[in-house]
Amino acid sequence: MSSAIRAILTIAVFGLLISGCGFKDIDKRFFVVALGIDLSENEKKPYRLTLQLAVPSPKIEPGASKTQIETIDTQSVAEGVRMMKAYVDKELDFGHCKVFLIGEKLARQDYQNLLEWMTRRRDIQSVADIAIGKPDAESLLKVKPVSERYPGNTLFLSFGSDGTESSYTYVESLSDFSRRASEQGLDPLMPVIAKDKRESYVINRTALLNKKRVKLMLTPAESQLYNQLASDFTKSSMHGMFQGMDLVVALTEIHSKYRIGKHDGEETVMMDIKMKVVFEEAPKGIYNDQWRPIEKKLSEEYAKSCVALLRKIQKAGVDPVGFGLRYRATHPGKDAWKQWQKIYPTIKFVVHANIIIEGTGLIK
């Protein structure tokens, strides 16, 4: 073997050894489990970043979670993250960051710069959950739930299917949010997280956004109704009245579909909803009556609630359901989007609900 070949092989081996020096061991990393972004009071540094850092602990039991909170005001999100490295003794790692909170004030102003950074940074997961913090993200990340077993566990379980599955909670991922923020005919939406009087979270409202900012906040009842319509969410309930009596039924099955076309000479969204329910609360005497009048009354009330919600969303000028996307798909042509923009503000909604009662919920 010639001396030249030996020299080349020696350089290659040393190059491989040197390249491995950039790796940081796990004990030299700070894993960011949640990131909050708010508006600051400094005009020169408009963003306030709050990082929730996991502190490793040998104990895995309720209340054993340990976190370190770091906050900084910065001119841009990317610059703030790099500046934050001067505040800690370990390398910041976003590979385990599963929750991004945007402060309410910032979400009502403009979220596009934040979305650009989140989607471009290579170590941020596209499956991470994104939400709005009310009144701000910083105060929420400082909450220490008593039941939390390890850092960030409470928020992870609130959004994941491994924990609670609430009909009032809309779950939004970063990938879906970025798609909605750029797609014509489909607008983004996010869950709203608020602080409970105790050391806990409440996630029962949904914010509807256009391509730039928040346009409408749904109430808890409207948030549940939207989840039923848009996601066919079955683990939910509905309230109704029949002959002055309060009724509560639990959904066991729901299917919704819609079409866009002419109805009585007007552009109309015609939606059909089929539901199967069981009683959860009802007066005793109602169990011996015929169910058909009750089914008809509940269907009428549910249809009215759906139309009211759809009109409210329409008035806000947003389209989270994706009616515009369906219109573009069924009306080919380069002018379809312009036509839909003219139609949507005045389009009519017609909802037909068919509720079938399967049982009383009693064990006989």
Residue 21 confidence (pLDDT): 47
Task: Quickly state the pLDDT bin for 27 (edges 50, 70, 90).
Answer: low
pLDDT in tens, 207-228: 999 999 999 999 999 999 999 9
On the 0-12 / 13-18 / 19+ scale of CB atoms within 10 A, 336 is: middle
Looking at the predicted structure, is the pLDDT value of residue 9 above 60? no
pLDDT in tens, 57-73: 656 655 556 778 889 99
Contacting residues for 347 by C-beta, under 8 A, at least 6 apart: 260, 266, 267, 268, 269, 314, 323
Percent of the chain as helix, strand, coil, to the nearest 5: 35, 30, 35
Mean pLDDT of the chain: 84
Where exactly does CATH 3.30.300.210 map onto the chain?
A: 232-364
Q: Which H or E run includes 34?
A: strand 29-39
Q: Please name which of 209, 172, 214, 223 lies closest in space to residue 319, comparing C-alpha atoms.
A: 209
Residue 246 confidence (pLDDT): 78
pLDDT in tens, 37-57: 999 988 889 999 998 887 766
Contacting residues for 22 by C-beta, under 8 A, at least 6 apart: none
Residue 344 confidence (pLDDT): 95
Q: Looking at residues 114-125, what average pLDDT do you find?
A: 87
Cα distances (Å, whole numbers) of residue 139 to 87, 153, 192, 278? 20, 17, 14, 41
Query: What region does 149 belong to: left with phi over 0, alpha with psi -120 to 50, or beta?
Result: alpha
Give the pair of three-digit tokens for residue 64. 């054993």
Question: What's the CA gap between 205 and 213, in Å, rounded?
Answer: 16
Instruction: Give 52's strand partners.
Output: 34, 69
Q: Which H or E run includes 329?
A: helix 323-330
What is the third-level CATH fold of 232-364? GMP Synthetase; Chain A, domain 3 (3.30.300)
Q: Please name which of 51, 99, 102 lies closest in space to residue 209, comparing C-alpha atoms.
A: 102
Q: Please name which of 150, 123, 157, 153 lies closest in space to residue 56, comparing C-alpha atoms.
A: 150
Is the Cα dihedral 119, 129, 236, 242 positive or negative? negative
